[in-house]
Amino acid sequence: VPANIGVCTDVVIRSYRRLGIDLQKAVHEDMSQGGFYDYPHVKKWKLSAPDKNIDHRRVYNLQAFFRRHGAALPISHNPYDYKPGDLVTWMVGPSLPHIGVVVEQRSKSDPRRHLIVHNIGYGPKMEDILFSFRITGHYRYNKNNKLIAGRRFQKSNTNLASIRTDYNRLMRELAATPIKKHRKRTKQKSTGKINLAQLKSESGISDVDIKALLGK
């Protein structure tokens, strides 16, 4: 991809290549060697296997990779927390994730705040946008970051096709199972019978006399 075009993630990939880190390869290997289901592929894009040509170019995948390798930092609104070389992700629209690199240069309006190199569709630019959008992630990744223990998943022969088959079978079984409807309790209609206890309490007449009056 030419340097003057591409997407936001290309800026990150190229930056790390200059540092001798092949992030494209690292992401693909992490997904291929047991980490696939810790990435948003299954739910978001419904893919069943890694794709080395596109996986590294998705913001959500880079976020998953950085989390898995202990590179995630707290999100804050303190400009001093963001150092040159850090990565920041934002949500610039209802469903448009974005990523950029913190650089040495500082904002003219606030010298405490570093500028960001990013590409939002017009080629790589250096701009003062750190707090312009809602921050969704803050990362600091280098070659010393290792996969967090316990984050590697066991390989399995189970694939999406078998999962869908099991799901469809379960749905059919549920559809065929009769559902017991609970009858609503309705207020019983009065039969015209006199409640003996109520009559006794209101009249003061004994049980024997009441039964005699009622012919019981």
Return the ∠ at Cα 98 (arms to 95 and 101), rounded to 5°. 165
Q: Where are the domains of the chain?
A: 8-165
Give the whole-angstrom CA distance, residue 167 versus residue 69: 33
Q: How far apart are CA 60 and CA 56, in angstroms?
A: 9
What pLDDT is attached to residue 153?
42
Residues 6+ apart with CB under 8 A from 20: 143
CATH label, 8-165, candidates 3.10.450, 3.40.1350, 3.50.50, 3.90.1720: 3.90.1720
pLDDT attached to residue 146: 83
Tokens of 130: 């750190």
Give tens-digit pLDDT for 86-143: 999 999 988 899 999 999 999 999 999 999 999 988 889 999 999 999 999 999 999 8
Q: Residue 66 phi/psi, 5° resolution? A: -65, -40
